[in-house]
Structure 1
Amino acid sequence: MTATTFSPPPAKVYYEVVHHLPGRVRLRIPRLQYDDRYGRQLQALFVQEESVQQIRLNLAAASLIIRYHPEAHHPLHRFGQLIQAAADEHLPPLAGMLPIDKLVYSPWNASDFIEKMALPTLALAIVALLPVQTPFYPAIVATVIVAVALPTFQEALENLEHRHLNVTQLESLWTILHTLQGEYLAPVLAAFMNRLGEALRDMTAQGGEKQVFDPLDQQRTYWVERGGTRQNVSVGELQVGDRVIVAAGSAVPVDGTVLWGSAVIQRQFLTGESDLLPCEPGQTVLASSLVVRGQICVVAQAVGEETQVGKTLQLARQAPQLDTRIQNYAEEISNQAILPAMGVAAIVYGATLDAHRAIAPLQLDFGSGIGIAIPTAILAALTHAPHVGVYFRNGRALELLSRVNVIVFDKTGTLTEVKGTIVGVNLLKPGLSEQTLLYWLATVEQSINHPFALAILEYAAERGIEGGTYSDWVYEPGKGVAATVEGQDILVGTPQLMRDRQVPIDLDELRTHEGVLWNRSLVCVACNRELVALVFYSNPVRSEAASVIAALQQRHIECYMVTGDHHEVANAVGYATGFRPGQIYTNMLPEDKVALLEKFKNGGEKVVAYVGEGFNDTAAMAYADISITLSDGSDAARQTADLILMNNRLEGLVQAIALSQEVMHIINQNIALVVIPNVSVVLAGVFLSLHPVIAVLISNGATLLAELNSLRILTDYRPVKIERKCSRSRSQAGVLDIPWKKRPRRSFDHFGSQLSSQSLSNSHLPSEP
């Protein structure tokens, strides 16, 4: 171990050893759930230890998993010192980029299985086959038992040193007493079956190691200055030396140095650092850093797998994070049963003077069985999820999705196609040509991945118009963009943005505009604080949207649609996809969506999911119980999401919910499979003097049966069938041409005082540029 001196921490940090094998330990540290600085310090201290090979931090579950050299001297004692030392407020900041050599992880393979099972198998063979007449037979088998049970003994002692009771103390006491009684086969058989269960769990984990979330979509394109020209290049085609332009809502795709521009970035994906940091020329930035505000040009110094995030992803093919509330709850109950089990054992011995019957309560260990069976089920589901077109970030997301009862959909790019179509341009200023207008629009929108931006760039390109250069570029999510183009102050966005920037605008006139009446999304264009044009665009509804909404409603899940678009467009899309009038909320800014989610949560009584794909959806996604995005969603949405629909189609949401509910059904079966036999053998041992070998076969066999039940997900589960339902339409001209003006007009964006008065004062206009 590296000798390091630390200042005494101000307060003791509580932790517990959840699971321990030679070379691997999982610790639960409650402080990780609320103290980000502590987590970073802890991470940095552990990677400095020579004995530590790899660590994995799961802040949501307050869990730390450590792989270390098995020959390390008293590792848990040393780890305990580090846990306490990380709490020292006087310790200088240590956390930064994790050294790559500390992230090395060797995937589980056949040799791991052989190594894991070699000793238990040899011990079982010796005890079962060695003749009783062999000289020194008791000493030989006792030595074998101590060897195979040594990790359990060590963990039990270390837990006692920290005054923590868990199931290892029961297992150790049970093993020692049976050995002293001459019951040699039962302890060895129990150790063998426990190790076999853990091996099956690890085999399942290996199957899921290849599914690792990549924060950078290799097909996403960026504007690049290369060879004196500006080109639109995908992430996979970027080269060292490229000058990559990155705008708000996008992730930096390369490691490099900022050449020009200024921005605020977040580095949470790679470093776990959630703080917002300023970014100026000359500063080094890393791939996957999210630009929250502003725009920068980065000179690429490393691309693809040579970036820090690329190297990390190559080494991160490891078991997903599995901690779930149901597993933690079961383990807690099991630990709470330890003292009562010991008390019952003492009472039985006092009443019967039968040591054999008295030992039976010490076998009450359903916590270990659940601790093996539940992760196996979660691992199997995470492994199988890509086969139904979805990616779960962790087991916690899987568990939450199974209980979801409210799903809120963003409209633009989620229920509608990402690619929009420009359907009309209305010039309001005499002398302004459409060519000049499109040049302004292509220039200011060229760095934004939004349906309107993509549509206007395509519309301009078809007319031979390319964007130019700009300065003072500012993007306001949910409202629009402002920039200076050749000395002209250009503003493109919602009517609300125009009003915020003191651009005179007649809302009553806009409400009666033909484009609005025909359900077109509206974007305003201003030049030097004068409204000069209106642009109308349309997004076709996704072909699968109506089928998905119907399938979710059949599962008794409440579905709602939110949008920053105006009333007519929202209701046209809602009608096409099967939303009822009261389920549609219009004119929503990002903060309004958060307020709506808070209303739906109803103090935690409901589990609320949010489905979005844009940068302006990230606030709502972060606030929802579970956040969902499409594979083509913005970088911000992909980094925020708990669930990614890999096929870029909404059917994946139905498949994910069905899979999660099936997994939870299997988990409940497994709990029954483990608990009932375990309690039964204890009762049988007390009242019927059940032989310990039979008790081990029943209780541990039930655990293995539960594991095999978990693996049904990999072999028997099939995607659910979704009944095809066509989008409803009343017009041959297209879904968004539904003549809603013939029906009584109602507004559905008033749902209570939690929304800002600003969003309610313009109930028919803002769109999502």
Structure 2
Amino acid sequence: MNYNQADTLQYYLENLSGVKKAQVFNRTCDALIYYTGDRNELLKSIQAFGYTRVSVPVQVLENSGRALNETYKEKLVDKILFHYGRKLLLPYPWSVIYTTAMSVKYIWLGIKTLWKRKIEVPVLDATAIGVSIFRGDFSTAGSVMFLLGIGELLEEWTHKKSVDDLARTMSLNTGKVWLRSEGTEVLVDADKIQTGDMVVVHMGNVIPFDGVIAEGEAMVNQASLTGESVPVRKVEGNSVYAGTVVEEGEAVLTVKAVGGASRYEKIAAMIEDTEKLKSGLESKAEHLADRLVPYTLGGTALTYLLTRNVTKAVSVLMVDFSCALKLAMPVSVLSAIREAGEYKITVKGGKFLEAIADADTIVFDKTGTLTKAEPTVAKVVSFDGKSEDELLRIAACLEEHFPHSMAKAVVDAAKERKLDHEEMHSKVEYIVAHGISTTIEGKKVIIGSSHFVFEDEKCTIPEGMEEQFKNLPNEYSHLYLAIEGSLAAVICIEDPLREEAPAVVKALKKAGFTKVVMMTGDSERTAKAVAAKVGVDEYYSEVLPEDKASFVEKEKAKGRKVVMLGDGINDSPALSAADAGIAVSEGAEIAREIADITIGADNLEGIVVLKNISDALMKRIHNNYRTIVGFNTGLILLGVAGILQPTTSALLHNTSTLLIGMNSMKNLVTEDI
């Protein structure tokens, strides 16, 4: 199979019902499928496969990473075969000329580093290679350059693969968009959009394509592309970019570019360039590696002065701590990010894994996070004489514009009852954490929380309906719909608790979180019941977005390390404020964009996996430190004692560096498929 065919088959297999994971091997035309369910049904689906019958998003084929992996595998094999083939087949004089010529690159890099008045790793590499050639030890010089080359190749491969995996996960998240067509808005698949189409982007939604604003005004958060979280005002004629988020207002944009390529490239560039995404330990390792170089050079000179033995001095030079530190630490972090991706966890930088490992407090939003992301409408209670269907139709017309699990429940219920709710209102205004306001047939219509409807908007209960209002079922969450200041309906939403939530909270406490908190905009009655079932340490009800963010800031001021987990627009301030913000993948797009980490919506156990990966990463990094320092110190002492020759020291040092680097690429936790 060629790469596109292999990617097409893998995409098809991964989207079959019951398939948990699929791997396709293009060289041997094999597929490995992990599945649950009926084997015969799966085999029938596989038999029905045809390359031309499968529609694969262009972005999946363009950015699959398969070509990258094959390229680096070939580079690695070619490098190893060439090195040992040259040693066996090339005459010695030609081998000397080749080794000398190859050394020029490393020596020149060392000189350039010195010219900048820096004594860093390139200086050490250049000195080791230069001294070996000067002494006529071309075999050692060749081995050092070969192992350095292998290390560079492995690091580059792991880095590029991790960055590509991360960028791909971040870039392919646009499903449906609102298309402006003949004066109305139509919800269509994103891949149906063409250049020149007019797309409407509402508050809280991600801008799906590069384009120019044709109508409206919006405050746009461009953190996903620029790293700056302060929103930028965009008006008619301004350019906007795919992946940025409308925080306030709404806009109609003319699409300039479709597909994910430009978005993907921008994200990949941001990940590679953004130093702030590196973990503290990763940055510390890089700086420590460079700081140790003068000591290695000083140790070499001191050994020569004390022993007058060039061989012993060169033994010190051949061994340094910096190579292993600079290779192992970034590889460990990038591998951990890649591994998290295997569990549908997107981590936007190593510093956030470190934050998860250090955290002692975790704050959960309730709706769509601790409860299932699929709430349903249990019943509609009418207060103004209109039919349940008519009231549900009005509610769905308002709610369809906004990304929240409760809104989705209303829209889905209307769809199930086959209620047509074409646009029949004027401009919709969304008040964060409160509700929605609009005008229908000249009448003001609002839908939202009790606080919003009765306290902010001063709506009243129709005369004679007080008893019915008092007897609303307690087991449900309530959405209140009011028309012209009078309560028209209460929509009862069943929002069942995730089955795994209590076990996840218990596991997080066992993993090291000393304070587990739940915060929700729901009533005290609902919050208390959920908190008791889940087993949190503290809970807060009827909170606003600023209350969540304020709580996070207060906890941080006490010296605690805080993780926030949420899924809605109203969670965004707290996600930004936390040391690590985690969003649920099917939550509001603004939450996903602002969050540092995204987990799959199907199971909260991803948080426990994330904590385990983070803890194991920190353990691996500390173990790497100890191994590198201990082993290389031993090599230096054996070299100074005259027990090891420089060639042996160099071989053992570089081999250990490669082994530590390769070990750092292994998965941190055992995958349980």
How would you bin the TM-score normalised by the shorter chain? Answer: 0.7 to 0.9
> Counterpart in 2 of 1:632?
586
Alpha-carbon distance between aligned partners in 2 of 1:293 and 1:150, rounded to the nearest angstrom: 57
Indicate if the aligned counterparts of 1:424 and 1:536 stay in contact, CA closer than 8 A.
yes
> Counterpart in 2 of 1:147?
101
2:283 is the alignment partner of 1:328: yes
2:663 is the alignment partner of 1:719: no
C-alpha displacement of 1:632: 0.9
Alpha-carbon distance between aligned partners in 2 of 1:465 and 1:172, rounded to the nearest angstrom: 74
> Counterpart in 1 of 2:322?
367
> Counterpart in 2 of 1:688?
642
C-alpha displacement of 1:164: 1.5
C-alpha displacement of 1:695: 0.6
Task: Give, as a single letter, the amino acid of the residue that structure 2 aligns with 1:644.
Answer: T
> Counterpart in 1 of 2:511?
555
Which string of whole-angstrom CA distances, capped at 9 and with x for unpartnered residues, describes residues 502-558 of structure 1?
52669xx99996467714323334444455554432311122222222222222323
Indicate if the aligned counterparts of 2:312 and 2:645 stay in contact, CA closer than 8 A.
no
Which string of whole-angstrom CA distances, capped at 9 and with x for unpartnered residues, describes residues 718-762 of structure 1?
2369xxxxxxxxxxxxxxxxxxxxxxxxxxxxxxxxxxxxxxxxx
Q: Which runs of 5+ in 2 are unaligned?
A: 1-62
C-alpha displacement of 1:311: 7.0
413, 434, 437: which one aligns with 1:479: 434
C-alpha displacement of 1:563: 0.9
Alpha-carbon distance between aligned partners in 2 of 1:449 and 1:573, rounded to the nearest angstrom: 23
Task: Give, as a single letter, the amino acid of the residue that structure 1 aligns with 2:110.
Answer: A
> Counterpart in 2 of 1:58?
none
Alpha-carbon distance between aligned partners in 2 of 1:110 and 1:654, rounded to the nearest angstrom: 33
596, 599, 603: which one aligns with 2:551: 596
C-alpha displacement of 1:400: 3.0
2:624 is the alignment partner of 1:667: no
479, 485, 499: which one aligns with 1:523: 479
> Counterpart in 2 of 1:69?
none
208, 218, 237: which one aligns with 1:263: 218
Task: Give, as a single letter, the amino acid of the residue that structure 1 aligns with 2:436.
Answer: V
2:535 is the alignment partner of 1:578: yes
Task: Give, as a single letter, the amino acid of the residue that structure 2 aligns with 1:563.
Answer: T
Alignment of 1:89-104 (within 5 A): none
Alpha-carbon distance between aligned partners in 2 of 1:192 and 1:227, rounded to the nearest angstrom: 65
C-alpha displacement of 1:447: 0.5
Alpha-carbon distance between aligned partners in 2 of 1:239 and 1:544, rounded to the nearest angstrom: 42
> Counterpart in 2 of 1:414?
369
Structure 2 SS opposite 1:627? strand
TM (normalized to structure 2)? Answer: 0.79
606, 620, 623: which one aligns with 2:577: 623
> Counterpart in 1 of 2:134?
180
2:120 is the alignment partner of 1:163: no
> Counterpart in 1 of 2:298?
343
Alpha-carbon distance between aligned partners in 2 of 1:217 and 1:510, rounded to the nearest angstrom: 49
Alpha-carbon distance between aligned partners in 2 of 1:240 and 1:129, rounded to the nearest angstrom: 58
C-alpha displacement of 1:593: 0.9
Alignment of 1:117-266 (within 5 A): 143-205=97-159, 207-208=161-162, 209-210=164-165, 212-215=167-170, 220-226=175-181, 230-239=185-194, 243-266=198-221
C-alpha displacement of 1:241: 6.0
C-alpha displacement of 1:596: 1.4
C-alpha displacement of 1:683: 1.4
Task: Give, as a single letter, the amino acid of the residue that structure 1 aligns with 2:659.
Answer: L
RMSD (Å) for aligned C-alpha atoms: 3.8
Task: Give, as a single letter, the amino acid of the residue that structure 1 aligns with 2:300.
Answer: A
Indicate if the aligned counterparts of 2:225 and 2:270 stay in contact, CA closer than 8 A.
no
Alignment of 1:449-528 (within 5 A): 449-461=403-415, 462=417, 464-498=419-453, 501=456, 503=458, 514=470, 518-528=474-484
> Counterpart in 2 of 1:569?
526
Alpha-carbon distance between aligned partners in 1 of 2:299 and 2:170, rounded to the nearest angstrom: 53
Alpha-carbon distance between aligned partners in 1 of 2:661 and 2:171, rounded to the nearest angstrom: 35
> Counterpart in 1 of 2:25?
none
Indicate if the aligned counterparts of 2:319 and 2:650 stay in contact, CA closer than 8 A.
no
> Counterpart in 2 of 1:309?
263
Alpha-carbon distance between aligned partners in 1 of 2:577 and 2:212, rounded to the nearest angstrom: 33
Alpha-carbon distance between aligned partners in 2 of 1:568 and 1:259, rounded to the nearest angstrom: 46
Q: Which moved more, 1:594-603 or 1:567-576?
A: 594-603
Alpha-carbon distance between aligned partners in 2 of 1:325 and 1:472, rounded to the nearest angstrom: 47
Task: Give, as a single letter, the amino acid of the residue that structure 1 aligns with 2:581.
Answer: S
Which string of whole-angstrom CA distances, capped at 9 and with x for unpartnered residues, describes residues 352-403 of structure 1?
2222223333334212112112233333333333333322223333333333
2:628 is the alignment partner of 1:658: no
Alpha-carbon distance between aligned partners in 1 of 2:215 and 2:241, rounded to the nearest angstrom: 16
Distance 1:583 1:315, change over 3 A: closer
Indicate if the aligned counterparts of 2:167 and 2:264 stay in contact, CA closer than 8 A.
no
Q: Point out the structure with the larger helix share.
A: 2
Alpha-carbon distance between aligned partners in 2 of 1:425 and 1:517, rounded to the nearest angstrom: 11
Q: Which moved more, 1:192-201 or 1:216-225?
A: 216-225
Task: Give, as a single letter, the amino acid of the residue that structure 2 aligns with 1:441.
Answer: A
Alpha-carbon distance between aligned partners in 2 of 1:698 and 1:640, rounded to the nearest angstrom: 46
Distance 1:257 1:323, change over 3 A: closer
Task: Give, as a single letter, the amino acid of the residue that structure 1 aligns with 2:109.
Answer: E
Alignment of 1:15-30 (within 5 A): none
Distance 1:254 1:685, change over 3 A: closer
C-alpha displacement of 1:691: 0.5
Alpha-carbon distance between aligned partners in 2 of 1:624 and 1:248, rounded to the nearest angstrom: 23
Alpha-carbon distance between aligned partners in 2 of 1:694 and 1:273, rounded to the nearest angstrom: 50
Distance 1:117 1:664, change over 3 A: same
Indicate if the aligned counterparts of 2:460 and 2:485 stay in contact, CA closer than 8 A.
no
Structure 1 SS opposite 2:117? coil
Aligned residue pair count: 603
Alpha-carbon distance between aligned partners in 1 of 2:117 and 2:467, rounded to the nearest angstrom: 71
Q: Which moved more, 1:544-553 or 1:565-574?
A: 544-553
Distance 1:187 1:303, change over 3 A: closer
Indicate if the aligned counterparts of 2:225 and 2:267 stay in contact, CA closer than 8 A.
no
Q: Which moved more, 1:312-321 or 1:261-270?
A: 312-321
Alpha-carbon distance between aligned partners in 1 of 2:370 and 2:479, rounded to the nearest angstrom: 20
> Counterpart in 1 of 2:21?
none
Structure 1 SS opposite 2:667? helix
Indicate if the aligned counterparts of 1:389 and 1:647 stay in contact, CA closer than 8 A.
no
Indicate if the aligned counterparts of 1:611 and 1:621 stay in contact, CA closer than 8 A.
yes
Structure 2 SS opposite 1:456? helix
C-alpha displacement of 1:438: 3.8
Task: Give, as a single letter, the amino acid of the residue that structure 2 aligns with 1:552.
Answer: L
TM (normalized to structure 1)? Answer: 0.70
C-alpha displacement of 1:229: 6.1
Distance 1:718 1:123, change over 3 A: closer
Indicate if the aligned counterparts of 1:248 and 1:295 stay in contact, CA closer than 8 A.
yes
C-alpha displacement of 1:159: 1.8
Distance 1:215 1:634, change over 3 A: farther
Which string of whole-angstrom CA distances, capped at 9 and with x for unpartnered residues, describes residues 118-159 of structure 1?
78976777678877xx7xx6xx76654442333322222222
Structure 1 SS opposite 2:428? strand
Structure 2 SS opposite 1:418? coil
Which string of whole-angstrom CA distances, capped at 9 and with x for unpartnered residues, describes residues 142-183 of structure 1?
654442333322222222222122122223223333333333
Indicate if the aligned counterparts of 2:354 and 2:614 stay in contact, CA closer than 8 A.
yes
Task: Give, as a single letter, the amino acid of the residue that structure 2 aligns with 1:539.
Answer: D
Indicate if the aligned counterparts of 2:206 and 2:243 stay in contact, CA closer than 8 A.
yes
> Counterpart in 2 of 1:57?
none
Q: Which moved more, 1:607-616 or 1:370-379?
A: 370-379
Distance 1:515 1:403, change over 3 A: farther
Alpha-carbon distance between aligned partners in 1 of 2:331 and 2:355, rounded to the nearest angstrom: 17
Indicate if the aligned counterparts of 1:255 and 1:286 stay in contact, CA closer than 8 A.
yes
